Amino acid sequence: MAEELEALWQRLSLTEEEDENIILGSSSTKAAKERGKNYLVMKILSRKSIMLDALWKKFENDVEAKQRGADHGDRG
C-alpha cells in the first residue's frame, strides 16, 4: 500500500492556480483556532448521542420482543 501511495504522490500535479501561495493573516489563524476549539467536545457529545440512540433502539426492541412473548403466553 505504501508503494501505491508513493506512485500516486509522484503523479500529483497542481494547476497554476492551485500552486499559488496563500498568505494568511493572524486573524485567519485565530478564526480557525476559535472554530476548532470545541471540536473534540462536539465529537465526544455526538458519539455519545449516537450510542444513546443505539441503546434506546435496543431497549425498544427488547420491550417489543417481551410484549410479543407475553401475547403468545410465554413467560420470562
Q: pLDDT tens digits for 16-39?
A: 888 888 887 888 888 888 888 888
Radius of gyration of the chain (CA): 26
Average pLDDT, the chain: 81
Residue with cell 500535479: 13
Predicted local confidence at residue 25, as pLDDT = 82
62: pLDDT strictly greater than 60: yes
Render pLDDT for 44-55 as a digit per residue (tens, 0 to 9).
777 766 777 887
Which run of H or E residues covers position 68? helix 39-71
CA–CA distance, 7 with 26 (Å, rounded to integer): 36
C-alpha cell of 53? 440512540
